[in-house]
Amino acid sequence: MTASRVLVLNSGSSSVKYQLLDMADRSRLAVGLVERIGEETSRLVHEPLIGGGEKRELSGPIADHGAALRAVAAELAADGLGLDSPELAAVGHRVVHGGTRFTRPTVIDDEVLAEIRSLVPLAPLHNPANITGIEVARSLRGDLPQVAVFDTAFHSTMPESAARYALDAATAEKYAVRRYGFHGTSHAYVSRATAALLGKAPEEVNVIVLHLGNGASASAVRGGVCVDTSMGLTPLEGLVMGTRSGDLDPAVIFHLARVGGLSIDEIDALLNKKSGLLGLCGDNDMREILRRAGEGDASARLAFETYVHRLKKYIGAYSAVLGRVDAVVFTAGVGENAAAVREAAVDGLAELGLALDLEANAVRSPEPRLISTEYARVAVAVVPTDEELEIATQVYALVTA
Ligand code: AMP
């Protein structure tokens, strides 16, 4: 029996999401999440997808990531999917920031872990949680390959002209200030799946990927290689997001500090947690915004229009960056589900070769699908993202190479 299972862990500051996949047939064996780690009201939701087991929910305090992963291990074991199984080939860890050092999936040893730790200043909210997840998983199955898959890696191919800010070069170098990009596993997966949908090899197509979730980013992918993306040093730059501002004049920060008397930490929280759709209208869920806008709510309408305006600007910009565009593809929570956002984002872009089939756009489906008119020069598609499958695929390819 060859080991073909991969456990994918996505450790956040107070949560762990996990999936156990069998790469022999790319099937999911179990999925789940632990949330509110460190609080009294922690919750574990575990769902076995084989063997007819039931979805289970456990509540009660889970003190830390160690306790969380031990609880997950116990749930998996109860379904006969324990971490001690000889069928488990590797554990894959989503790591948010790989800096310029990590441009591909990497087997984690002490030196790699130290390097991931050295990148904490670039991702102070994310990398520490990722590191904790790695440490705990190593303590549970130190004999297994533990592999880090970086959110930044897919964007490491950006040319310097796209990756650099026009800052004093020595200062930028000293503080590692450049554009790294995020959501890389999603952009990689979706751009490849879009090529497949068009019946082409990834090398043959130029794609604009619009990953519109609670966080949102766009990327320009030429022949399977990322040449630009909208997030930068951190996941704050670019599109309007659920709670993040996206692009703004950096002088807004000086103004808020000098005139408003806000501290750096207050401005950080304002731009990351209280801006975007939430800041504009008080809601960050696109479903709620569409509902309110439909009832004539002016601030929800403005939030929607601001969101769409920014999206259009990036579609235009990346059409220029790519020169020839074969497909524009929507993915993630908003991109996969909000037909109104897709319609508004593409509306008026016939000069760029984009035209929607409104009937196809209105269909809800979990399948990758085309929503452009038959005669449009550029295909428009909806392709559900699958970051866990992409992480497992990259991990399995590495450990079986
Ligand atoms: P994600 O981060 O990819 O899980 O996306 C989460 C976001 O997707 C939510 O905050 C919602 O704004 C959005 N979303 C999910 N379902 C729908 C839907 N049916 N219509 C519009 N937006 C949706």
What is the tens place of the pLDDT at every residue in 193-248?
Answer: 999 999 999 999 999 999 999 999 999 999 999 999 999 999 999 999 999 999 99
Do 46 and 62 form a contact (C-beta atoms < 8 A)?
no
Is the per-residue pLDDT at 336 higher than 90? yes
C-alpha to C-alpha distance for 16 and 11, rounded to whole angstroms: 4
Q: Specify whether 235 is located in the same domain as 115.
A: no
Residue-level pLDDT at 51: 83
Given the CA of residue 285, which atom of ligand 1 is nearest to it? 12
Q: Do the domain assignments include residue 187?
A: no
User: How far, in Å, is the centroid of ligand 1 from the Cα of 384?
Assistant: 12
Q: Do the domain assignments include residue 88?
A: yes
Residue-level pLDDT at 53: 80
Q: What is the CATH number of the domain that holds 43?
A: 3.30.420.40
For 348-370, what is the mean pLDDT? 96
Q: Do the domain assignments include residue 400?
A: no
User: How far, in Å, is the centroid of ligand 1 from the Cα of 145?
Assistant: 34
**The domain boundary residue, chosen from 135, 150, 165:** 150
- Backbone phi, psi, residue 290, to 5°: -65, -40
**The domain boundary residue, chosen from 150, 184, 208:** 150
Q: Whole-model pTM?
A: 0.95
Pocket flag, ligand 1, residue 384 (CB < 6 Å): no
Q: Specify whether 86 is located in the same domain as 231.
A: no
Q: Do the domain assignments include residue 321?
A: yes
Q: Count up the domains in the chain and report the number.
A: 2
Which tokens is 355 given?
């035209």
Q: Specify whether 286 is located in the same domain as 344.
A: yes
Is the per-residue pLDDT at 12 higher than 90? no
C-alpha to C-alpha distance for 213 and 57, rounded to whole angstroms: 25
Q: Specify whether 138 is located in the same domain as 237.
A: no
Is the per-residue pLDDT at 125 higher than 90? no
Residue-level pLDDT at 1: 60
Query: Known catalytic residues?
Result: 151
Angle among Cα 364, 393, 212 to the nearest 5 degrees reads 35
For 47-53, what is the mean pLDDT? 88
Q: Specify whether 294 is located in the same domain as 382.
A: yes
Query: What is the domain extent for residue 383?
Result: 199-387
User: How far, in Å, is the centroid of ligand 1 from the Cα of 169?
Assistant: 39
- Kindly report the number of other CB atoms within 10 A of residue 111's CB atom: 8
Q: Specify whether 218 is located in the same domain as 116.
A: no
Q: Is the dihedral of CA 379, 321, 100, 276 positive or negative?
A: negative
Q: Do the domain assignments include residue 340?
A: yes
Q: Specify whether 207 is located in the same domain as 278.
A: yes
Residue-level pLDDT at 213: 95
Considering only CA atoms, which residue is closest to atom 16 of ligand 1?
A: 333
Pocket flag, ligand 1, residue 338 (CB < 6 Å): yes
- Kindly report the number of other CB atoms within 10 A of residue 119's CB atom: 25
Pocket flag, ligand 1, residue 278 (CB < 6 Å): no
For 343-356, what is the mean pLDDT? 97
**What pLDDT, in 10s, does the model give residues 145-171?**
999 999 999 999 999 999 999 999 999
Residue-level pLDDT at 249: 98
Pocket flag, ligand 1, residue 334 (CB < 6 Å): yes
Residue-level pLDDT at 126: 86
Given the CA of residue 242, which atom of ligand 1 is nearest to it? 10
Q: Do the domain assignments include residue 212?
A: yes
Q: Specify whether 144 is located in the same domain as 204.
A: no
Farthest CA pair distance, the chain? 67
Confidence of residue 123 (pLDDT cuts 50, 70, 90): confident
Q: Specify whether 222 is located in the same domain as 310.
A: yes
Q: Specify whether 133 is located in the same domain as 212.
A: no
For 77-91, what is the mean pLDDT? 92
User: How far, in Å, is the centroid of ligand 1 from the Cα of 213?
Assistant: 6
Q: Do the domain assignments include residue 121?
A: yes
Is the per-residue pLDDT at 2 higher than 90? no
Is the per-residue pLDDT at 14 higher than 90? no
Given the CA of residue 286, which atom of ligand 1 is nearest to it? 12
For 10-14, what is the mean pLDDT? 87
Helix 286-294, helix 298-322: angle, nearest 10 = 120
Residue-level pLDDT at 191: 98
Q: Specify whether 214 is located in the same domain as 323.
A: yes
Q: Specify whether 212 is located in the same domain as 270.
A: yes
Q: Do the domain assignments include residue 168?
A: no
Place of tokens 């497992």: 392
Pocket flag, ligand 1, residue 337 (CB < 6 Å): yes
Residue-level pLDDT at 124: 84
Residue-level pLDDT at 359: 97
User: How far, in Å, is the centroid of ligand 1 from the Cα of 117?
Assistant: 32
Pocket flag, ligand 1, residue 181 (CB < 6 Å): no
Pocket flag, ligand 1, residue 62 (CB < 6 Å): no
